Amino acid sequence: MLILQRKEGESLLIGDEVEVTVLAVEAGRVRLAIQAPRSVTILRSELKGAVQANREAAEEEVSPLELLGVLKEKKE
């Protein structure tokens, strides 16, 4: 892991196409601006786990009868 210190207005480059600029540091929070090509996915780390869980849930095979049973339970 690389650890850097940057002040407001300073930037860092990731490869040739991604630039991260520190916009503000206030009350223990940092505002960042990220300039990258549209083909680069930018995702908050806490959402990465949610995306993976969603993919895994979508891949699970559940029989239609089992799904109907769940719906019936919710209706009651």
**Residue 53 forms part of a structural domain:** yes
What's the pTM? 0.63
User: Domain range for residue 44?
Assistant: 11-75
Q: Range with the lowest mean pLDDT among 17-21, 41-45, 65-69?
A: 65-69
**Residue 67 forms part of a structural domain:** yes
**Residue 3 forms part of a structural domain:** no
pLDDT in tens, 3-19: 999 999 999 999 999 99
User: Does the pLDDT of residue 74 top 70, yes or no?
Assistant: no
DSSP per-residue codes, 7-48? -TT-EEEETTTEEEEEEEEETTEEEEEEE--TTS----HHHH
> What's the confidence (pLDDT) of residue 76?
65
**Residue 57 forms part of a structural domain:** yes
